[in-house]
Amino acid sequence: MSKRSWSQNILPYVGIGIIVALVLSLLLDSSNGFGGSEIFTGIALILAVGAVLYLKNMQNVLKNEVNRRVKAEYAPEVRPEVFKIYQRLGAKELDGLFPIILDNAEGSLNKVKKLANIAEGVGWKAFIENQW
């Protein structure tokens, strides 16, 4: 079981906070009285930056997991090819599917190639739902 970091614990509330801050900012801009919308806009920007940093952190976690699994499951002579396939999927923003590909490939380079080609052809949803 993995530990959840503080950013994972607050992520569900970040989206709600951004929406509330932006709505309040728009309401205060439209009113002639209070004029404190800069505060709410600042809060929304801080929450947006936090969300971006969290996503970057999760991307690093995925890369570390893939590195660990490839080193553990594949022979040294085929690792560069597996990493090239991972980079190719990353260029098409399908790198999140790579752990699923590794699960189904069972240590075979040919299966990794085949599943990566299928993932590129059908996309995220169809690959996850095994509609290929």
pLDDT tens digits for range 10-19? 766 777 777 7
Q: Give me the torsion for CA of 22, 26, 32, 35, rounded to 10°.
A: 20
Q: What is the pTM of this model?
A: 0.59
Give the three-class secondary structure for 46: helix
pLDDT tens digits for range 21-65? 777 776 666 665 555 566 766 777 788 888 888 888 887 888 899
Rounded distance between C-alpha atoms, residue 19 and residue 22, angstroms: 5
What tokens were used for 40? 């709410």
Tally of CB atoms within 10 A around 17? 17
Domain boundaries, the chain: 1-59, 74-132
